[in-house]
A and B are shown apart, each in its own frame.
Chain A
Amino acid sequence: MATTEQRDKEEQVDVKTDDGSPKIKSRPIVQLGIFLISHSPVFSVVFSAAGVLALLLLPLLAKNTYISENALMPGSARSMLSNRDVSDGSKLVNNIKNFRLNHEGQGVEVQRLIGKYMSEMGAEVYYQKFHPEGNQFHPLHFFSGPDSDTLLGNVSCASYGVNVAGIIRAPRGDGKESIVLVTPYDSINGGNYEALSLGIASSLFSLLARVTWLSKDIIWLVADSRYGDYRPVAAWLSEYHTPSFKASNLVKCDGVNTSDSFRRAGTMAAALVLKVDGRSERFEDTLSIYAEASNGQMPNLDLINVVNYLAVHREGFYVKVEKVVSLLSSSWLKIVGEIFEAVGKVAHKLNPDWNFSIPAADYLEGSATLASSLYSQALGIPTGPHGAFRDYQVDAITLKVSPRFPPDSKARQHDFFLRGAQLLEGTIRSVNNLLEKFHQSFFLYLLTSSSKFISVGVYMIAFALLVAPLPMVAASLYIDGCNAHTKSTHNPAENLKSWKWLGAAKQVFALHLLGFIVTLLPYIICQVPGQHSPTNRSIMWATTSSSLLLITSVTIPGCSPFSSRLHGTNWAVLKSVTISAAFIGLCLMSIINFATAEIGALLLVPMCLIVRPLRTDLRSGRVKSLLRALCSMVLVTIGFPVMFFAISRGLTGKGLVGLSLGGEFWTWLESLWAWKSATYLYIGMVHLPCWLLCLCILFSPS
């Protein structure tokens, strides 16, 4: 890219310099490049608008999902679940309820009870103790895999959770692969609904213990969700994949004896997390599918397809995917949807083959789901315990079932267990059919409903259009800057060959370095002894960062936004280099986590494009200039990460002002790095430096 730009510039220069001599006709591609660069303001507006439009169009472009892997064959076999299996499940639920009524606060005993049931069904049962503490932020381990040795240190017996797992060995299987079923259950505070998930799972388990078609082993993990849903599953997985052979203090704690019996069942083919919570608001039982894992990774689309197909067509669940509820009532989106509908209808009249129109209500639903999908992926925090599996390349989803009856209704419970277990049976049977691991369908997609998706080929267009103006504007600004320089120095001989971009690059590099240091600061702040509130920590962070910024602006000339003169660099060149850096950063981020890059581009691209020195705009006093100055002021304000965080919080109805905002922001960032989200790195190392540079340009003197 850079080389072609360079060539473009040289060609341009040739054309310009040879004023007297005849013009050499350059190649069409070069001409096109020159044309684009010379009209960059128009094109940048057009491309950015097209990018936003393409993003809005995405719900229209969503395709229906389909089962890509033929071996899955969902729903082709009749369910073998009998009433006896279901009554087994009901029995377990009743027993647990009775037990909890009689024994208060006896956590481990409930696990024992579940374990007893499992072994009666013919499973190999074991218990696993884990420590509820999560991962700490460590900059060096940011992208590295799970590490078991970090937790070996000071482990106390005061609080630990106990997972129960049962394994059914496939009668004729070779034990190379397994399917995992997880039911998080809090044995102390868990409500009655939560116990229902155990009922479904044990109905299923009772069936699977006697079927002959299994080719993969089945693991049922009852995760102790006293300390959250995610942590027990992550602890179990880490013990499964990276056990420590050294002695752990946890083993010595009394309670269940877990010292020796951790069992494994080969490579995991897929995992399903089942949760039952709350009562369904609709007439049908509701099934919510959660799929986003850390850093926007998604499980194979086929897994979602199988569950969705079985739930909708076989069991009659109402299947939904998480959506941003506030968008459903937004009027502007509704208007957009109506416009698209009208356009679609007109197009349909013109050519009956053009069938892209969807009703405005569907559009609204689709875009609300899409927004939620984008947001969850961008945040990089898994939406459920299934996220832990993705770290080990296991496809997993969380199924949250809401029954339509109150938890104590016995009559409905049987039917509910039957249908829930049949759904899981069908899914497990499909996965069991697989010879290879999931690979056939998409991994990069956004969901607009449980049965509609947008593949990477479509959604990349919006991003590409959004970032396309950046290199154009960078090239045009560079040429402008060079020309201005040439005019001021009157030395045409060394106009472009000179290294005048080097000064700007130095400045950009210095600010990126600053961003890198600021990113690492929280680790050092966390090491500060003593207990600090998040607010205090954020204040520490802010003061250190701004003092670092001051030091930078003092030591490196040209970095200060308020210095009176710039050493040989004018703002155009600086902006050009800034835009190039932003472009590279966004493109890199789009590979790591597309959703972050998309949202980042929405913030960063207009800000980078519009920003100009305030002084010149104000001095000129024209309406256009004043408007531009106002726009850039607004965009730069929004572009500040803390500000954007506050605004997004305000939009979701949680207004925060002052210092509490800092604390809130700190906890939010803490959650980002605790989940090893690349979004944190993006904010610190791409967004923040670019924002600072924009600030520099905004207050630059010329």
Chain B
Amino acid sequence: MARLVLSLITVLILQSLLVTIAFEVEEFSEELLLKPLPDRKVLAHFHFENRAPPSNSHGLHHHLFPKAISQLVQKFRVKEMELSFTQGRWNHEHWGGFDPLSSMNAKPVGVELWAVFDVPQSEVDTSWKNLTHALSGLFCASINFLESSASYAAPTWGFGVNSDKLRYGSLPREAVCTENLTPWLKLLPCRDKDGISALMNRPSVYRGFYHSQRLHLSTVESGEEGLGSGIKLEQTLTVVLKPDTISGAENMQPSWSLSTLFGRNVVGRCVLAKSSNVYLQLEGLPSDERKNLDPEMEAEKLWKNAEFELSLKPDRILQEINSFLYMFDIDKSSDREPFDLGLTWKLPSKWSCQQAPLHSSRFLMGSGNERGAIAILLKATESQEKVSGEDLTNGRCTIKANIFQIFPWYVKVYYHTLQIFVDQQEKTGSEVLKKINVSPSTDKVSSGMMEMMLELPCEVKSAAIYIEYDKGFLHIDEYPPDANQGFDIPSALISFPNHHASLDFNEELSKSPILSKFKEKSLVRSYTEVLLVPLTTPDFSMPYNVITITCTVFALYFGSLLNVLRRRIGEEERFLKSQAGKKTGKLKQLLLRLKAKITGKPVEEAPSSSSTEPPEARSSFLSSKLLFKIILVAGAAAAWQYFSTDK
């Protein structure tokens, strides 16, 4: 224990004096951020951070840090990795698009995985494939589908992380469920038994409008010889919930508490956590209140005023330009007195979230099963922050936007058809396109990728990017089981390289990971919709039909071939000639035969053709036998019919 304290002290000294990021002791912290949203919903953002210090024992033993993750990092030499499971769509208009929370936690539907490796260039793909399989097992998800080279891409600069050892893949159709959450919770030292994570009541978490579970890990180089690298594991869960309202006034924001939101309470911190805090962020409050002088009265007024009231007294109140952050320490809560933060609105209140400079939407164009087009529409939002990120190059105010898209190979994009419209005027590439990087797809081998950097004037109202594609044909066994649903094109990523979102609460809160995370400048990014392309699907009974037809053709072919081979036409002609000598009419012959059958005598043949007599007689004998057989079968059939219909 003493040693632990000692090491803690050394950490503090190191941090304060050397300003290094090296740390000696494994640390875990849990935090929860709550934020009412303008559209009467509440955002809950769980943030768990786990740090493993660099050690020369190669991390074989950990106190808090999950072993599975550290093994993953060591085995596949992962430098940085992010995995997210998302259900529902982030509403950029109402939930914000220009704050660190949305730029980091608004993820595309399904699974998204990207990783940067610390291996030679030639081994990156192998590492990626192994990593997908390992993660697939770890998180009970079909991440292993990202293994195939047709489903991932290697973005160079469009993704925001500039590295040539980066691999990116996403599975839009992956359903997110509790079976993904359970292994994720297993990585936490207290699981969901204690502390903030105890709030994660599955029904309420999955009832939400948005659910994104994220795992971000990064290695921290120690910089010292002989030491390995430290690992920082960040686990976040972002949910947007709608509080059950007892119908009050029409435009009144709903009041809520943790117990009504989650159906559970926090009864104490996770004892292994270094810090466990709950934050409440209120946006768009009138900012003139801070002009008041009396700090005591002011603090009281900040959380209990005419507009709203908090059920607990915040431990600290932090301010940003247009938002307040109330901090609560859950140390004091216990079984008898659970931590149940509540917010009660007294007056109708309205505010709006900060928007990204451009709102993006993507859609498919055209009809039919042959070809189509993908369009991305960028529209200017009413954002005050737009000015901050403008780039005044050449005296011209511009907004830069990076667009990164992956196209599966069955969507055969014609890159030369790229058209860009700015404010409904068609522009040539050189006017607005600053950079473009295209890697075309190869059929069944690799997916196509397009990264482009647009430079739009600041006063832009709307911009559209249009690109045409042909729909490919898949082999019959490449279709998934529900082929008629259509095929997904993963979300495109729009990021604004000159716009960075950060929340600075003017506090030295380096010990709070979530706040330091907010303080970091994060790239403003937004994901577009996933697209569903209906492809031509074959009739899946077609192979059966093909087999049937082929077999018929073969049978006909071989039948006629055999016929040709074994038939002797010369013989037949000779036989016919001898027959013709008889000169008996067909009808007459038939009558003769019939007569012979009735009388039972052999047919009287003309003397000239005596040689054919014995076979003729035999054939007549055979035919009478045959006739008998036919009658027998017909009788049996009639009897069968009679009895079967009777039943």
Give B484-500 interface residues, CB cut-off 8 Å to A.
484-486, 488
Query: Is B482 engaged at the interface, CB distance under 8 Å to the other chain?
Result: yes
Q: How close is B549's CB to chain A, nearest CB, in angstroms?
A: 17
Query: Is A637 engaged at the interface, CB distance under 8 Å to the other chain?
Result: no
Q: What residues on A are CB-neighbors of B421 within 8 Å?
A: 245-246
Q: What residues on B are CB-neighbors of A266 within 8 Å?
A: 363, 529, 531-532
A242 to B466, CA, bound (A): 11
Q: How close is A361's CB to chain B, nearest CB, in angstroms?
A: 30
Query: Is B645 engaged at the interface, CB distance under 8 Å to the other chain?
Result: yes
Pick from A175, A263, A437: contact of B485, CB under 8 Å = A437
B486 touches A22 (CB 8 A): no
B88, closest chain A residue (CB):
A172
A260 to B208, CA, bound (A): 30
Encode contact with B along A372-394: 1 for CB under 8 Å, 0 otherwise.
00000000000000000001110
Encode contact with A along B337-363: 1 for CB under 8 Å, 0 otherwise.
000000000000000000000000101
Pick from A24, A246, A435, A437: contact of B534, CB under 8 Å = A437
A23 to B88, CA, bound (A): 81
The 10 closest A-B pairs by CB, nearest first: A436-B484, A247-B424, A245-B421, A176-B532, A22-B580, A174-B109, A392-B367, A245-B464, A436-B485, A439-B484
Q: What residues on B are CB-neighbors of A439 within 8 Å?
A: 484, 537
Encode contact with B along A94-107: 1 for CB under 8 Å, 0 otherwise.
00000000000000
- Chain B contributes a number of interface residues (CB within 8 A of A) equal to 50
Query: Is A353 engaged at the interface, CB distance under 8 Å to the other chain?
Result: yes
A175 touches B579 (CB 8 A): no
Q: What residues on B are CB-neighbors of A655 within 8 Å?
A: none
- 11 A-B contact pairs sorted by A residue (CB < 8 Å): A22-B577, A172-B87, A174-B89, A175-B109, A176-B531, A242-B365, A243-B375, A247-B424, A247-B425, A260-B461, A437-B485
A246 touches B424 (CB 8 A): yes
Q: How close is A396's CB to chain B, nearest CB, in angstroms?
A: 13
Encode contact with A along B512-535: 1 for CB under 8 Å, 0 otherwise.
000000000000000001111110
Q: What residues on A are CB-neighbors of B464 within 8 Å?
A: 245
Given A245-B421, A437-B486: A174 and B530 interface contact (C-beta under 8 Å): yes
Q: What residues on A are CB-neighbors of B484 within 8 Å?
A: 436-437, 439
A177 to B88, CA, bound (A): 13
Q: How close is B596's CB to chain A, nearest CB, in angstroms?
A: 22
B366 touches A145 (CB 8 A): yes
Pick from A146, A264, A392, A393: contact of B361, CB under 8 Å = A264
Using C-beta atoms within 8 Å of the partner chain, give the interface range for chain A.
Answer: 35 or more
Q: How close is B590's CB to chain A, nearest CB, in angstroms?
A: 15
Query: Is B368 engaged at the interface, CB distance under 8 Å to the other chain?
Result: yes
Q: How close is B372's CB to chain A, nearest CB, in angstroms?
A: 9
Query: Is A537 engaged at the interface, CB distance under 8 Å to the other chain?
Result: no
Q: Is the interface of B mostly helix, strand, loop or mixed?
A: mixed
Q: How close is A123's CB to chain B, nearest CB, in angstroms?
A: 12
Query: Is A351 engaged at the interface, CB distance under 8 Å to the other chain?
Result: yes
Query: Is A191 engaged at the interface, CB distance under 8 Å to the other chain?
Result: no
A246 touches B530 (CB 8 A): no
Q: How close is A30's CB to chain B, nearest CB, in angstroms?
A: 13
Query: Is B576 engaged at the interface, CB distance under 8 Å to the other chain?
Result: yes
B109, closest chain A residue (CB):
A174
Query: Is B172 engaged at the interface, CB distance under 8 Å to the other chain?
Result: yes
Query: Is A212 engaged at the interface, CB distance under 8 Å to the other chain?
Result: yes
Encode contact with A along B103-146: 1 for CB under 8 Å, 0 otherwise.
00000011000000000000000000000000000000000000
B209 touches A171 (CB 8 A): yes
| Most central of B419, B482, B486, B645 by chain A CB within 10 Å | B486
Query: Is B379 engaged at the interface, CB distance under 8 Å to the other chain?
Result: yes
Q: How close is B638's CB to chain A, nearest CB, in angstroms?
A: 13
A22 touches B424 (CB 8 A): no
A393 to B88, CA, bound (A): 27
Query: Is A267 engaged at the interface, CB distance under 8 Å to the other chain?
Result: yes
Query: Is B364 engaged at the interface, CB distance under 8 Å to the other chain?
Result: yes
A352 to B646, CA, bound (A): 9
Q: What residues on A are CB-neighbors of B369 within 8 Å?
A: 393
Query: Is A492 engaged at the interface, CB distance under 8 Å to the other chain?
Result: no
Q: How close is A443's CB to chain B, nearest CB, in angstroms?
A: 12
Pick from A173, A351, A392: contact of B645, CB under 8 Å = A351
A177 to B419, CA, bound (A): 26
Given A145-B367, A393-B367: A176 and B530 interface contact (C-beta under 8 Å): yes
A394, closest chain B residue (CB):
B367
Query: Is A241 engaged at the interface, CB distance under 8 Å to the other chain?
Result: yes
* Known contacts A22-B579, A242-B367, A243-B375, then 18 further A-B pairs from the complex at CB < 8 Å, ordered by chain A residue: A22-B573, A22-B580, A24-B573, A145-B368, A169-B89, A171-B209, A172-B211, A174-B109, A176-B529, A241-B367, A242-B366, A245-B424, A245-B466, A246-B421, A247-B425, A264-B361, A264-B363, A267-B364
A350, closest chain B residue (CB):
B645
Pick from B89, B363, B424, B485: contact of A435, CB under 8 Å = B485
Residues of A within 8 A of B (CB): 22-25, 145-146, 169, 171-177, 212, 241-243, 245-247, 260, 263-264, 266-267, 351-353, 391-393, 435-437, 439
Query: Is B207 engaged at the interface, CB distance under 8 Å to the other chain?
Result: yes
Q: What residues on B are CB-neighbors of A260 within 8 Å?
A: 379, 461-462
Give B15-46 interface residues, CB cut-off 8 Å to A.
none
Q: What residues on A are CB-neighbors of B426 within 8 Å?
A: 245-246
Given A243-B375, A393-B367, A436-B484: A353 and B579 interface contact (C-beta under 8 Å): no
Q: What residues on A are CB-neighbors of B573 within 8 Å?
A: 22, 24
B488 touches A176 (CB 8 A): yes
Q: How close is B444's CB to chain A, nearest CB, in angstroms?
A: 23
A241 to B366, CA, bound (A): 5
A246 to B530, CA, bound (A): 25
Q: What residues on A are CB-neighbors of B375 within 8 Å?
A: 243, 245
A436 touches B367 (CB 8 A): no
A19 to B208, CA, bound (A): 92
A567 to B108, CA, bound (A): 76
Encode contact with A along B75-94: 1 for CB under 8 Å, 0 otherwise.
00000000000011101000
A247 to B207, CA, bound (A): 43
Q: What residues on A are CB-neighbors of B110 within 8 Å?
A: 174
A22 touches B576 (CB 8 A): yes
Q: What residues on B are CB-neighbors of A175 within 8 Å?
A: 89, 109, 529-530
A174 to B529, CA, bound (A): 8
A440, closest chain B residue (CB):
B484
Give B361-397 interface residues, CB cut-off 8 Å to A.
361, 363-369, 375, 379
A25 to B88, CA, bound (A): 76
B423, closest chain A residue (CB):
A247
A267 touches B537 (CB 8 A): no
A160 to B425, CA, bound (A): 24
A264 to B376, CA, bound (A): 12
Q: What residues on A are CB-neighbors of B532 within 8 Å?
A: 176-177, 266-267
| Most central of A174, A260, A393 by chain B CB within 10 Å | A174
A177 to B488, CA, bound (A): 11
Give B427-467 interface residues, CB cut-off 8 Å to A.
461-462, 464, 466
Q: What residues on B are CB-neighbors of A353 within 8 Å?
A: 645
Q: How close is B159's CB to chain A, nearest CB, in angstroms?
A: 22
B207, closest chain A residue (CB):
A212
A267, closest chain B residue (CB):
B532
A241 to B365, CA, bound (A): 5
Give B207-257 interface residues, CB cut-off 8 Å to A.
207-209, 211
Q: How close is B410's CB to chain A, nearest CB, in angstroms?
A: 16
Q: What residues on B are CB-neighbors of A174 within 8 Å?
A: 88-89, 109-110, 172, 530
Q: How close is A634's CB to chain B, nearest CB, in angstroms?
A: 42
Q: What residues on B are CB-neighbors of A241 within 8 Å?
A: 364-367
B482 touches A435 (CB 8 A): yes
Given A247-B424, A437-B486: A393 and B368 interface contact (C-beta under 8 Å): yes
Q: How close is B88's CB to chain A, nearest CB, in angstroms?
A: 5
Q: What residues on A are CB-neighbors of B87 within 8 Å?
A: 172
Q: What residues on B are CB-neighbors of A435 within 8 Å?
A: 482, 485
A171 touches B88 (CB 8 A): yes
Q: What residues on A are CB-neighbors of B368 within 8 Å?
A: 145, 393
Q: How close is B199's CB to chain A, nearest CB, in angstroms?
A: 20
